Amino acid sequence: MLLRRMAHQLAHPNDDLSSPVSSEYLSQSSSSGGHRGSISTQATTMSDWTDKRMFGSEMEVVDEEAARVVSNARPLVPVRPKGVYRLDDFIIQRTLGTGSFGRVHLVRSKHNMRFYAIKVLNKDRVVKMKQVEHTNNEQRMLECVQHAFIINLWGYFQDAANLYMVMDFVPGGELFTLLRRSNRFPDPVAKFYAAEVGLALNYLHGLGIIYRDLKPENVLLNADGHIKVADFGFAKAVDTTTWTLCGTPDYLAPEVIGQQRYNKSVDWYALGILIYEMLFGLPPYHMTETNHLILYDRIQAGPSKIAFPPAAFSEHARDLIMKLMETDPSKRYGNMRHGAKDVFAHPWFREVDWEKLERREITAPYLPRIAGEGDASAFDRYPEDDVSLQYGKTGPDLSGHLFPDFNYTAER
């Protein structure tokens, strides 16, 4: 009931919900989208932040492909039959987003008339930016997961120039957009989204998958207001630990920055950052001026000096955030003896009915304004530039063998 009462406030935020977000930050967000790029020692997924100097001259760059350790992780099993898809099966409607490798299109199936999102990646750019492993990981991870709060991958294929992944169209847009429009969320609303993200993370960890790029930009809102975690470009199946520096700077755990081996606890650390950002409007180590070296120093120093204004944080919320952001992974909630049970049993989540929530039987606090099927008004408009006319063409292909699971749908 309390969540339902918050819906109007989210759609029409008032002064009582406003956080001390600087006007400078808001103007940056409105002019450029405010989206934070994800970084990696192997360049980026959908970001232009590709200069390795951002890590600092003292930080060693680790290439996960060149320094791979044989993993004993359980083999992942696809959860749905592998379908055969062609570009001709779809009518391309419009662009939903763009990035360094390509773009995401809203499409409609000619067969069942349903709407989907197709992610198109240029193979030459993926290879040049050393994202082959991350791209193959995204396809393999999504093929093997099926959860109420995780986006579905329905099919994938390639032609001479591009890779294609057919996924759910999630019409409500990004949680990031809702958060920026609201400035910050009331406690019950942040709790709702945090709980659904927590269930998604726990499911992935049960499969041996580390997500590694949690942030509001990667949490989408479905038509019913429930979430879908998307963008698995940095997800990886790991039995014990891994070591690549990747993710979003504000959300990186201290052990990742320190180039130490790490495990799934980095996702729980990121959940602590997400809860803080939802309640306050900005992540705890936010800096107006981008200086990653200073940011990383603050993260490694730990959360002891983070401000928790009483107007935004209850005592229980502060306690959970501190336990999730614990600098020592062995003492971090989600990574101790009882695993995720410590997180779910925390007093901040006391009123959450986890079984009903996972069945989506709890009404979401905000329902996106959707005019009908295929309504993409929650997404920004992008110049189309007739790029789709280049899809499906034949020509030389020097890198197709690097993506063995993507079927060919045209003659080479």
Neighbouring CB atoms inside 10 A of 213's CB total: 24
CA–CA dist 271, 378 (Å, integer): 24
Supply the residues annotated as catalytic: 213
- For helices 2-11 and 187-206, the axis angle rounded to 10 degrees is 110
CA–CA dist 291, 294 (Å, integer): 6
Neighbouring CB atoms inside 10 A of 154's CB total: 18
- For helices 265-280 and 315-324, the axis angle rounded to 10 degrees is 150
Residue 356 among known ligand-binding residues: no
CB 203 within 8 A of CB 72: no
Burial of 66 (0-12, 13-18, 19+ CB in 10 A): exposed
User: What are the C-alpha distances in Å from 250 to residues 20, 115, 210, 257, 352?
Assistant: 18, 34, 18, 11, 28
CA–CA dist 343, 333 (Å, integer): 6
CB 245 within 8 A of CB 260: no
CA–CA dist 83, 116 (Å, integer): 15
Binding site residues for ATP, as ranges? 128
